[in-house]
Amino acid sequence: MPGKNIDKDLPRQIDEADQFSPDSWIPRSYKLTRLTGKHPLNAEVNLTTLFDGGLITPSPIHYVRNHGSVPHLLWENHKLEIIAGKCLLLGMDELKNQFESINTPIFLACDGNRRKELNMMKKTRVFNYTAAAAGCSYWKGVLPRDVLLAADIQQLAKSNPNKSFWVNHKGADDLSEGKYETCLPLDYALNSNNDWLSKIWLTDYESDSYYYIYDNRQLPSFIDDPESEIAQIMYRHPSTIRTTQMLNSVIVRPAQGERIDLAGLRKGAMYRVEGYAYSGSGNEVDRVEVSLDGGFRWLYCVRKYPDAPIRRGRKFWTWLHWHIDLPVSRFIRAESILVRAFDEHKNTQPPKPVWNIEGMMNNCWYEVRPETHDSSDTSTSLLFRHPVDTGTSTNGWMKPSTSEQIESIKQKASAPEKQFTRQEIEKHNTEDDCWIVVNGNVYDATSVLGWHPGGKGAILAHAGAVNMDTTEDFESIHDNYAQDNLKECIIGKVTQKAMDHMKKDAEQKKAEKSQTEKKDPEVALDKHNASHPTPNYKPSPFHPPPKNSASQQANTSNSASTLKTVSSPILETEDDGSFDLVVKTYFPDENQPGGTMSNILDCLREGEEVEVKGPSGEIRYLGNRRFEVDGDEHTFSNVTLILGGSGVTPGYQIIARILKTTDDKTKNQSH
């Protein structure tokens, strides 16, 4: 697992955007910028935040790439199935105890790292990652090679000397197009690492799964229609598959939007230009250079790797940070700051980007442009712009191409003149009647729900919503092909009053987010063990409930369903709004699967949030012999309680209430 963090650095709150999604059990850092709406979460942090995290990236700011919800796996009952020369079914403790573990720093980057630069040239099929879709963490686990050898892979290969084998991998996550399955040639797979796998098996043919064919492919630049016959051929062609990273380097400082005031600058002042670089196939980055004159002359940079071990065997699996100190005066005359890297085989990066429909593997020279700005007080400053900025911002030096601007004008011009009020649009918010608003246009998306590649949930999350969020979410992940399909559903525009509401709402959310980032997250859950395995949970704050039960719920990650349970506080609600729950935890073992909700609660860290609502139940004790049953009030002088299991706690509540109230005349017997 990634990271080298202490608890105080870990996020403690569930993001509001996740609260009603299958990922509602995962705290996320407020520093992450969401790129694909609420769900599934795909995100990155600001480039300088990533770099300042150090050579070993803290887990909360590591980029996130998901095709669906995160599987909620428990160490105690997760199994890995291996099928080779023989079949194995191994639990996590068996993997840990039977095989040697390694713990080594490994750099990961999405193949779509720097995709937003390609989207500025022409829309790709996928969303906008900047150069921050990367990170280097310590990863600990057993080697797939060792597990495959234990499954008699050598015997299988020896028995079939004329066959070439592929190692197939299946993830534990449930996705819109089925399980995420992919494969690697056997020789390559013996040196690979994988996470949250549920199955590994061998075949003598390549996988035909959806994600192996359509994910992580770099098609030729002339293909701009993913549904065309030539595109479908190339998706299945071995030349388009991506199995290794490409050589890449990025400038981090000067940062996007950074200014240097030239007025008070002392003579000979220096500035440190810095960034990161990485390579694929375990190749070492041999050299990093920057240029200030468009690539005519290049300057050598200092490289810094993480602390040992920086390699495993003869391979380098980490990134490096680089820097060079230059006089500030050189930036005034510079047309740009360029960076390029070389690997140990003397391969280097191309000067210009290579566009492709999937937006993969952009590794051209990274360019930062300085601009001289004169302010009203006669001071002069240098402003630096990166190619693109994080999220939907367009403050980088790259702007949408002419063809993209023309396409945008066409889309706006195609909208019919019929206008809809906010109140009218908000009525159409169901699966049978689903309207969405994108760029001020109103679309009836009901017919799209059945075939939408991302599932109907992604659309229904915006049904009847009159805000800018839908536009941001749609444009972040859809290409021109999807834009053309959307035109078929257009029915009109929003009124000017509705548009004003959308703009005001967007400004308010931006202000609230800015305030949230300045605050420390509040502790929402305190947990300690009363007598293991019976932990005491203390949620807070909570509006004091009447004296009966409250329900907790969690969204399970393996489906869109919601898991609920009913529990009763063990004591009176306290003045601060908190209360205590005691939940017996039944851990999974070889004889039974364990309690689902109790195990989820057991996985929570202090400060994480749970959803609580209540009271529930049809009987309420009102005090001094008075009970409310099914909404009607009754008086009982003698009460007999027969209690067991989860019924002990609500019975305890009634007994405590009677005993603590001095004038309560209720007589009680309990069994």
Decide: 625 and 666 in contact? Cβ < 8 Å.
Answer: yes
Decide: 197 and 80 in contact? Cβ < 8 Å.
Answer: yes
Decide: 44 and 133 in contact? Cβ < 8 Å.
Answer: yes
Residue 217 is given by DSSP the state B
Instruction: Find where tokens 């191309």 sit.
Output: 350
Spatial separation of the C-alpha atoms in residues 17 and 41, rounded to whole Å: 10
- pLDDT value of position 349: 97
Spatial separation of the C-alpha atoms in residues 529 and 606, rounded to whole Å: 12
Residue 241 is given by DSSP the state B
- pLDDT value of position 522: 42
Strand partners, 33: 44
Alpha helices in 517-577 (DSSP H): none
Kindly list the structural domains of the chain, giving each domain's residue range(s) and its CATH number in brackets, ordered by start: 248-405 (2.60.40.650), 418-514 (3.10.120.10), 549-613 (no CATH), 619-670 (no CATH)
- pLDDT value of position 52: 96
For β-strands 667-670 and 638-641, DSSP reports them as parallel
- pLDDT value of position 548: 44
- pLDDT value of position 528: 47
Instruction: Find where tokens 């060792």 sit.
Output: 146
Map 10-59 to HEC letters.
CCCCCCHHHCCCCCCCCCCCCCCEECCCCCCCCEECCHHHHHHCCCCCCH
For residue range 522-554, list pLDDT tens digits in order.
Answer: 434 444 444 445 555 555 543 333 344 444 555
- pLDDT value of position 596: 65
Closest Cα to residue 557, out of 41, 91, 188, 84? 41
- pLDDT value of position 313: 73
- pLDDT value of position 538: 57
- pLDDT value of position 347: 96
Amino acid identity, position 20: F
> Low-confidence residues of the chain, pLDDT below 70?
1-9, 191-195, 308-309, 311-312, 376-378, 407-416, 476, 479-481, 513-568, 570-579, 586-597, 605-618, 645-646
Map 125-150 to HEC letters.
CCCCCCCCCEEEEEEEEECHHHHHHH
For 501, the 3-state DSSP assignment is: helix
- Rg (Cα) of the chain, in Å, rounded? 29
- pLDDT value of position 63: 95
CB-side neighbour CA atoms (13 Å) of 668: 21
- pLDDT value of position 64: 94
- pLDDT value of position 264: 76
Please give the structure tokens belonging to residue 370.
């300085």
Spatial separation of the C-alpha atoms in residues 548 and 629, rounded to whole Å: 12
Please give the structure tokens belonging to residue 598.
């109790």
Helices (H) and strands (E) counted in the chain, each on its own, are 17, 37
Closest Cα to residue 567, out of 586, 548, 554? 548
Please give the structure tokens belonging to residue 625.
């012999």
Give the pTM.
Answer: 0.68
- pLDDT value of position 263: 81
Instruction: Find where tokens 């960034």 sit.
Output: 275
List b or e across 226-245, with b for residues whose CB sees 16 or more CB atoms inside 10 angstroms: beeeebeebbeeeebbeeeb
For residue range 489-514, list pLDDT tens digits in order.
Answer: 888 888 888 899 988 888 887 777 66
Q: Which residues, 6 or more positions from 480, have their beta carbon under 8 angstroms from its beta carbon?
A: 122, 123, 407
Cα 449 to Cα 49, 131, 415, 433: the distances in Å are 38, 33, 21, 10
- pLDDT value of position 547: 40
List b or e across 577-590, with b for residues whose CB sees 16 or more CB atoms inside 10 angstroms: ebbbbbbebeebee
Please give the structure tokens belonging to residue 324.
């060079």
For 290, the 3-state DSSP assignment is: strand
User: Taking the chain, what is the end-to-end CA distance rounded to the nearest angstrom?
Assistant: 49
Please give the structure tokens belonging to residue 495.
């009124």
Peptide bond connecting 22 to the previous residue in cis, omega within 30 degrees of 0: no
Amino acid identity, position 354: V
